[in-house]
Amino acid sequence: MKIVVLVKHVPDAAADRKFDEADYTTDRVSVDSILSELDEYAVEEALKISDAGDAEVIAVTMGPEQAQDAIKRALQMGADSGVHVLDEALHGSDALATSQVLAAAIEKVGEVDLVFTGMASTDGGMSVVPAMLAERLQLAHVGFVGELTLDGGTVRARRDADVTETVEAALPAIVSVTDQINEPRYPSFKGIMAAKKKPVQTWSLADLGIDAGSVGLSAAWSVVASVTARPPRTQGEVVTDEGDGGAKLAAYLADQKFI
C-alpha cells in the first residue's frame, strides 16, 4: 500500500506572523517556521498503518527552500521518503494552484492508495485543498476524521464535522484528520539519524508538466486588496474578586446590554 502525506511548512503561530509588504503574501522567510501542527496527526495516522502492515509512506510538500524542514520532520517521525515541489514560480499561489500542483505530484508518485492531510493548515487555514484534490483526482474525500479503520479496500471513518457521521469510502481516497485521531509520536534519536539517509526528491513545475504561468501570485483567481494590522486589543477594566466579583461581572454585562 502506498500512502502520501501532505505536509506544510508554516510560520509558527507562536511567532510574530506577518505579510510581505510588497505583495501581501504570507512572509515565509523572516519568520520562524515549523511543520503545521495539524499535519503531525496526518503523518502519525499514516505511520500507524505502516506499523501495522506493509505500507510505504511518502511525505509531499510544496513550498520554498525552507519547506524541506517539514519533510525532514515527517521523515524523522518515520516516513520512508519525501518529495519537495520547489519552484520560484509557485510564490503566492492560491489554493486552486496549490491543489493543481499537489494533484500532479500525487499522480507522479503514482498508484497512491491513500492521501492524508491535516484538517487545515495553521497559517492560511482555508481547509479547502483536500476537497480540491479530490475534485481534481476524482477521488473520494473524507474530511475532519477523528477515527479511522481500514478494512481491505475500504476506509471507515468517524467524521467530526458539524455533526458526527460514520462514512465509508472505497480506496483510493483522500482523508483529512483532526487532532482527535491520535497522539503524534515525537521523533526518536534513531529516527532522527535514520532520516538523514532517507531519499528526498525535488520536483520542479517542469517535472510535473505544469506551465509556470498557471500558478503563482499573478495567476491567482483572487487578489488581496488590503492588509491591515489589527490594533492589539486594549485591556479593559480588571477587578479582583473580593466576594463581589460575580456581581460586578453581572453589572458589566448589564451595562453592555447583554442581559
Partner 1 sequence: MAEILVLVDHADGAVRKTTTELLTIARRLGEPSAVFIGSGYDAARDTLAQFGAAKVYVAENPELVDHLVAPQAEVLAQVAATAQPAAILLASNPDGKEIAARLAIKLESGLITDAVDVVAADAGITTTQSVFAGGYTVTARVTHGTPIVTVKPNAATPEPAQSTPVEEKVAVSISDTAKRARIVERAARGESGRPELTEAAIVVSGGRGTGGDFGPVEALADALGAAVGASRAAVDSGWYPHAHQVGQTGKTVSPQLYVAAGISGAIQHRAGMQTSKTVVVVNKDAEAPIFSMADFGVVGDLHTVLPQATEEITKRKA
Footprint on residues 237-256 left by partner 1 (CB under 8 A) = 237-241, 244-254, 256
Residue 3 phi, psi (nearest 5)? -120, 130
Phi, psi of 21 (to 5 degrees): -70, -25
Within 35-94, which residues bind partner 1 (CB under 8 A)?
Answer: 37-38, 94
Asked if 181 is part of the footprint of partner 1 (rule: CB under 8 A), the reply reads no
Binding-residue total with partner 1 (CB under 8 A)? 85
Residue with smaller CB distance to partner 1, 106 or 139: 139
Tell which positions 220-239 bind partner 1, by CB under 8 A: 220-230, 232-233, 235-239
Min dist. Cβ of residue 252 to partner 1 (A): 5
Report the DSSP beta bridge partners of residue 60: 6, 83
Position 217 contacts partner 1 (CB under 8 A): no
Name the residue with cell 487545515.
120
Q: Does 98 bind partner 1 (CB under 8 A)?
A: no
Question: CA-CA distance, 251 to 259, in Å (whole number)?
Answer: 9
CA 184 to chain centre: 14
Is residue 139 part of the contact set for partner 1 (CB under 8 A)?
yes
- In the complex, minimum distance from the CB of residue 184 to partner 1, in angstroms, rounded to a whole number: 12
HSE-up of residue 98 (Cα within 13 Å, Cβ side): 23
Q: Among 43, 55, 134, 205, which residue interacts with partner 1 (rule: CB under 8 A)?
A: 134
For residue 105, which phi and psi values (nearest 5 degrees)?
A: -65, -40
